[in-house]
Structure 1
Amino acid sequence: MKIFIDTERLRDLNSGLGQFCFRLGRELVQQRPASAELTFLVPEKHRGIFGPEVSYQTATWWRNWFNPGAYDVWHCTHQDSRFWPASTRTRTVLTIHDLNFLERSDYNDAKKAGKLAALQRKVDRSSALVTISEYTASVVRDRLTISEKPLTVIYNGNSLDQAIAQSPNLPNPYFLFVGVIHPKKNLHTLLPLLEAFPEWQLVLAGPDAHPYAGHLRQQAQNLGIGDRLILPGAVDEATKTGLYQHCDAFLFPSLSEGFGLPVVEAMSCGKPVFLSRLTSLPEIGGKDAYYFESFEPEAMAETVFDGLNDFRANPFRATRLRQQATRFSWEQAARQYWELYQSLATP
Structure 2
Amino acid sequence: MPSLFLDTERMSNLTSGLGQVCLNLGLELVRQQPPGWEITFLVPKDQVGVFGPSAKYIVASRWRRVLHPWSFDVWHSLYQGSRFLPQRQSKLIYTILDLNYLSMPEYSDARKARQKRRYQHAIDQASVITTISVYVAKDVKRQLNVPPTTPVEAIYCGVNTPSSLPTQPPTIKPDKPFLFFIGMMQPYKNVHTMLPILKAFPQYRLVLAGPDKPAYSQQIREQAQQLGVADRVLLAGPVDEATKWWLYANCDALLFPSRLEGFGIPVVEAMAFGKPVFSSTLTSLPEVGGDEAFYFSDFEPNTVVETFRHGMDTYRNDPTMPDRLRAQSQKFSWAAVAADYWKLYQRV
Q: TM-score, normalised by structure 1?
A: 0.93
The unaligned stretches of length 5 or more in structure 2 are: none
> Residue in 2 aligned with 1:317?
321
Contact residue 180 and residue 248 of structure 2 kept, 8 A:
yes
The answer as to 2:33 corresponding to 1:32 is yes
> Residue in 2 aligned with 1:208?
212
Alignment of 1:107-186 (within 5 A): 107-146=107-146, 147-165=148-166, 168=170, 169-186=173-190
Contact residue 71 and residue 86 of structure 2 kept, 8 A:
no
- Aligned partners of 1:340 and 1:212: how far apart in 2? 41
Q: CA RMSD in A?
A: 1.8
Alignment of 1:194-233 (within 5 A): 194-233=198-237
- Aligned partners of 2:138 and 2:304: how far apart in 1? 28
Q: Which amino acid aligns with 2:257?
A: P
The unaligned stretches of length 5 or more in structure 1 are: none
- Aligned partners of 2:233 and 2:247: how far apart in 1? 15
- Aligned partners of 2:67 and 2:265: how far apart in 1? 31
Contact residue 28 and residue 338 of structure 2 kept, 8 A:
yes
> Residue in 1 aligned with 2:79?
78
The answer as to 2:64 corresponding to 1:63 is yes
The CA deviation string for residues 112-161 of structure 1, in whole angstroms up to 9 with x for no partner, is 44433321111001111101111111111222222211222111112221
Alpha-carbon offset, residue 104 of structure 1: 2.6
Alpha-carbon offset, residue 30 of structure 1: 0.7
Q: Which amino acid aligns with 1:251?
A: L
Query: Which range is displaced more, 266-275 or 194-203?
Result: 194-203
Query: Which range is displaced more, 179-188 or 209-218?
Result: 209-218
Q: Secondary structure at the match of 2:239?
A: coil
> Residue in 1 aligned with 2:303?
299
- Aligned partners of 2:320 and 2:186: how far apart in 1? 34
Alpha-carbon offset, residue 339 of structure 1: 1.1
The alignment-based identity, stated in percent, is 48
Q: Which amino acid aligns with 1:15?
A: S
- Aligned partners of 2:219 and 2:344: how far apart in 1? 45
- Aligned partners of 2:50 and 2:242: how far apart in 1? 19
Query: Which range is displaced more, 210-219 or 255-264?
Result: 210-219
Q: Which amino acid aligns with 1:12?
A: N
The answer as to 2:308 corresponding to 1:275 is no
Alpha-carbon offset, residue 209 of structure 1: 4.8
- Aligned partners of 2:179 and 2:136: how far apart in 1? 28
The answer as to 2:193 corresponding to 1:189 is yes
The CA deviation string for residues 304-336 of structure 1, in whole angstroms up to 9 with x for no partner, is 111101110111122211111111110000011
Q: Which amino acid aligns with 2:100?
A: N
Alignment of 1:252-291 (within 5 A): 252-291=256-295
> Residue in 1 aligned with 2:340?
336
Change (3 A) 1:162 1:202: farther
